[in-house]
């Protein structure tokens, strides 16, 4: 099915297209998560990403079930959005040499993935209900719930420590160094400091 082609005639087709889109996306996420686990140096982040890999595999199984319930063969359709998010994450990670900054970048990338999944599953649940696919909607809602929980968990790790650790790796600017040097000279001379 191509973008803006005449393959999508109605909401049913649009729903199936979106289901195939997330099916492809979940497989790409499944492929990219081990690399993210390897790159992460924080034990909690590593554990969280690893747990989400297990969750992702279960989510794919739910999608398989969803296709089965719709009496369709599970199939993916290329999703340029998830490819772009993953590609950008890899490019950025390749440019970072500081481990703490890399951890912050990995969380940001993982949250971008989660947000993409949340928007897709949100729409899919709504459309599945609208089209009367109640069982399929339940399966998709389970995936949506997990994506939201993962996003929240990642947010917690980032706020609680990863971002702070990344911030602590900042080198003092030249001006800050000059200020400290100046204060030390002034203190040594026994005169009050200005500026």
Minimum distance, C-beta of residue 42 to Fe ion, in the bound complex (Å): 19
| C-alpha dist (Å) from residue 181 to 19, 170, 173, 175 | 61, 18, 12, 10
112 to 141: interface string for Fe ion, x by CB under 5 A: -----x------------------------
Minimum distance, C-beta of residue 53 to Fe ion, in the bound complex (Å): 10
Considering the complex, state which of residue 58 and residue 187 has its C-beta at the smaller distance from Fe ion: 58
32 contributes a contact to Fe ion by CB under 5 A: no
Which tokens hold the place of 154?
């990642």
Minimum distance, C-beta of residue 114 to Fe ion, in the bound complex (Å): 5
Q: Is the CB of residue 53 less than 8 Å from the CB of residue 33?
A: yes
Minimum distance, C-beta of residue 118 to Fe ion, in the bound complex (Å): 8
* Burial per residue of 82-110, b for 16 or more beta-carbon CB atoms within 10 angstroms, e otherwise: beebbeebeeeeeebeeebbbbbbbbebb
Which tokens hold the place of 44?
């909690």
Q: Taking the CB of residue 192, how many other CB atoms lie within 10 A of it?
A: 6
Question: What residues from 46 to 65 belong to the interface with Fe ion (CB under 5 A)?
Answer: 56, 59
Residue from 105, 147, 157, 162 binding Fe ion (CB under 5 A):
147
- List of residues contacting Fe ion (CB under 5 A): 56, 59, 117, 147
């Amino acid at each position: 099915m191509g973008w803006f082609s005449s393959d999508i005639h109605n909401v049913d087709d649009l729903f199936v297209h979106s289901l195939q889109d997330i099916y492809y996306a979940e497989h790409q996420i499944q492929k990219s998560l081990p690399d993210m686990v390897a790159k992460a140096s924080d034990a909690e982040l590593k554990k969280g990403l690893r747990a989400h890999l297990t969750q992702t595999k279960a989510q794919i199984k739910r999608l398989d079930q969803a296709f089965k319930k719709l009496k369709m063969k599970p199939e993916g359709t290329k999703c340029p959005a998830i490819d772009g998010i993953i590609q950008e994450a890899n490019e950025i990670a390749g440019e970072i040499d500081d481990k703490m900054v890399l951890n912050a970048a990995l969380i940001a990338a993982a949250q971008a993935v989660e947000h993409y999944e949340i928007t897709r599953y949100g729409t899919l649940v709504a459309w599945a209900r609208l089209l009367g696919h109640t069982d399929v909607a339940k399966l998709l809602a389970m995936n949506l719930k997990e994506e939201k929980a993962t996003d929240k968990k990642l947010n917690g790790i980032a706020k609680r420590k990863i971002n702070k650790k990344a911030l602590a790796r900042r080198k003092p600017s030249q001006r800050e160094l000059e200020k400290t040097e100046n204060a030390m000279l002034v203190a040594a001379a026994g005169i009050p400091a200005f500026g």
